[in-house]
Amino acid sequence: MPHHTPLIAMIVMGLVLAFAFGAVANRLRISPLVGYLLAGVLVGPFTPGFVGDQNLANELAEIGVILLMFGVGLHFSLKDLMSVKAIAIPGAVGQIGVATLLGLGMGWALGWPVFTGFIFGLALSTASTVVLLRAMQERRLIETERGRIAVGWLIVEDIAMVLALVLLPAIGGLFASEGGDAAASMSLPDLLIALGITLGKVAAFMVLMVVIGRRVIPWVLHYIVHTGSRELFRLAVLAIALGVAFGAAKLFGVSFALGAFFAGMIMSESELSHEAANETLPLRDAFAVLFFVSVGMLVDPKIIIENPLPVFATLFIIVIGKSLAAFAIVLLFRHPVGTALLISASLAQIGEFSFILAALGTDLKLLPAEGRDLILAGAILSIMLNPLVFVGVDRVRPWFERHFDKKRSSAAGLTTPVPDASMNVSAAVPDDDATPHPTTLTDHVVLVGYGRVGSLVGAALRARGLPFLVIEDVDKRVAELRSQGIEVIAGNATRGGVLAAAKPGEARQLIIAIPNVFESGVILDLARKANPGLEIIARAHADAEVDHLMTHGATTVIMGEREIARAMIERFPQAPAPANPTPAAPAA
């Protein structure tokens, strides 16, 4: 049996080291992403010991990007995407322009040609899909207004980078030095034709997905469900996600990420989308980890020592320059300062498209090796710093909200800030990172989550006239609850300030109706500290989850499968009486 197995070695070493360093990072209370990146540095070509196959690592990472964008698409709809186009399109274009100009200026300072500086700046302008989406998912923001803006912004950047990759060889021919390997010079009409063809392909893909995909994909899923095979359903979901992404790249020239996003968005219109998301979750997380390992493999730690000033100048453009541009643009569109800070923090890094642009520029002799190394160093440093950027944003957010919102209100002649009328109803929901106002209720029920289970519980509480409030972090549900006159605290209950606003110390009961057992455990710990005697009811799907929640202090844990079985048992027919009962023996 052959033992030369680079693919297996790359997967095993990548996951094992990522797990080890991620666990250490978590223990030190820093983001596990830092551990994943360090694992990549260890298996890279610039450190001693095992060296992984960089090409294989990049392909494995691409699968992670596909599954991640597919999962995001499952939580989106065309309506959601169109609702943020007014800020996502000009915002992304403006931020790309500012970052490109800053990179152009740095290239001029380093003595590079103008077009070299342009490519360098363009590579610094686009954020990493994986890093941004992981940050949004960790904060449960994908389905919020801010999450939709961030994802819409990302999609526009994605399309812009696809255009850049297609046009770069053609435009580069106009600037290539004699003897270079770049494409021959092209006339302006030829460039316009190339641009038109690229835009036409992107438009054709979108039309195909909207017109045909939204009919075929749900039909396939429903057909597979009726076969009764869970294995086939799981395979169908993965085949659609990977197949559409691959077909979009090969047939239409768009990125894998954009193709996967549209596949997920079309599938989201099916009632099976929730189940589809659950089926791809384990693979998505595993391959997303390999993405960070592949990034770490690209970094030569020596560049920080040999060229510290250019490295930190590059990092400044990525973390500060891009963020300030995004912050100003979001405020210009009259969105809350909290939204501006969140978008700025999520874009303060670069990733996969930057690597592709750097590699293409180097191959075309348009970007020197020094420029490529600076881009790679800026990428890994910005990704490692991104969790700290979010921590910093959380710290400064109250100050910014007091000063910026106060100035806005004064300028408008108002005493309190109000949402812009142009924003939809979900945008009027307060940001869930802000500290909510405490409830005035006492001896009440706190209901965490208002999904399929929580909404039924809430309806029963309301029917019985019991005082209760809801903690919910999905903007649409928050708006619906408020329209019904139900008190709701917008935010994630795992954040201490959100749960504290519900006053668990004065409540009679806490009902945790969310399905995530790990988040439920965190909520239990917080609630028990606030009120050791509080009655807490939680939900679970397995015996191990029941044990986990009971260990963390739940009074009662309801397991769905047991309740289903109990309801079925209650409907058993009564056992018939014996037809010929044995007569009792006569008394002696």
Q: pLDDT per residue over 281-312, tens digit each?
A: 778 888 888 888 887 887 778 888 888 899 99
In a shared domain, residues 366 and 441: no
Which range is least confidently modeled, 250-259, 463-472, 501-510?
250-259
Instruction: Looking at the structure, tell me whether residues 489 and 364 fall in a common domain.
Output: no
Q: What is the CATH number of the domain that holds 519?
A: 3.40.50.720
Q: Residue 586 gets which letter from DSSP?
A: P
418 occurs within a structural domain: no
> Is the residue at 414 inside a domain?
no
pLDDT number for residue 95: 92
pTM of the complete model = 0.66
518 plus 393 within the same structural domain:
no
- Strands 468-472 and 509-512, bridge-based pairing: unpaired
Q: Is the pLDDT of residue 556 over 90?
A: yes
Helices (H), 129-187: 129-138, 145-175
**How far apart are the C-alpha atoms of 371 and 202, rounded to whole Å?**
30
pLDDT digits (tens, 9 = 90+) for 64-121: 878 877 877 776 666 766 778 888 889 999 999 999 999 999 999 999 988 889 999 9
What are the distances in angstroms from CA 122 to CA 48, 93, 112, 313, 324? 33, 11, 15, 15, 17
Distance of alpha carbon 251 from alpha carbon 272, whole angstroms: 28
Does the structure show a pLDDT above 60 at 140?
A: yes
- Check residue 399 and give its pLDDT: 82
Q: Report the candidate in 123, 186, 128 with the shortest Cα–Cα distance to residue 153.
A: 128
- CATH code assigned at 98: 1.20.1530.20
Read off the tokens for 91.
Answer: 């915002």
Residue 520 lies in a domain: yes
Whether 501 maps to a domain, the answer reads: yes
Query: With 90 as the cut, is the pLDDT of residue 535 above it?
Result: yes
Q: What is the pLDDT of residues 248-284, one digit of tens each?
A: 888 887 778 778 888 888 887 777 777 777 777 778 8
Question: How far is Cα 7 from Cα 11, in angstroms, rounded to an integer?
Answer: 6
- Residues 209 and 339 occupy one common structural domain: yes
Residue 421 has pLDDT above 50, yes or no: no
Closest CA to 569 of 578, 558, 561, 559: 561
Q: Is 20 a domain residue? A: yes
Do 332 and 470 share a domain, yes or no? no
- 376 with 472, same domain: the answer is no
Q: How many domains does the chain have?
A: 2
The token pair at 261 is 């996003």
Q: Do 228 and 351 belong together in one domain?
A: yes
Domain residues for the domain of 390 are 9-301+308-402
- Residue 493: left (phi > 0), alpha (psi -120 to 50), or beta? alpha
Mean pLDDT in the chain?
A: 81
Q: What is the CA radius of gyration of the chain?
A: 27
Instruction: Note whether 392 and 447 are same-domain residues.
Output: no
The pLDDT value recorded for residue 539 is 92
Is 364 in the same domain as 477?
no
Which DSSP helix (H) or strand (E) runs through 197? helix 188-208
Q: Are residues 383 and 483 in the same domain?
A: no
Are residues 110 and 238 both part of a single domain?
yes
Please tell me the predicted confidence (pLDDT) of residue 33: 76
The pLDDT value recorded for residue 354 is: 85
Range name among 107-116, 170-179, 455-464, 509-518 with the lowest pLDDT average: 170-179
Non-local (6+) Cβ contacts of 120 within 8 A are: 103, 104, 106, 107, 112, 361, 367, 371, 374, 375
- Per-residue model confidence (pLDDT) at position 434: 53
* Helix, strand, coil share of the chain (percent; to 5): 70, 5, 25
Q: Enter the DSSP assignment of 559.
A: E
Amino acid sitting at position 358: A
Q: Is 23 inside any structural domain?
A: yes
Q: Are residues 331 and 448 in the same domain?
A: no
φ and ψ at 445, to 5 degrees?
A: -105, 135
> Is there a domain that residue 126 lies in?
yes
More confident residue, 297 or 511: 511
Least confident of 157-161, 162-166, 185-189, 533-537: 185-189
Query: Could you read off the pLDDT of 238-248 as tens digits, one per residue?
Result: 899 899 989 98
User: In this structure, is residue 428 part of a structural domain?
Assistant: no
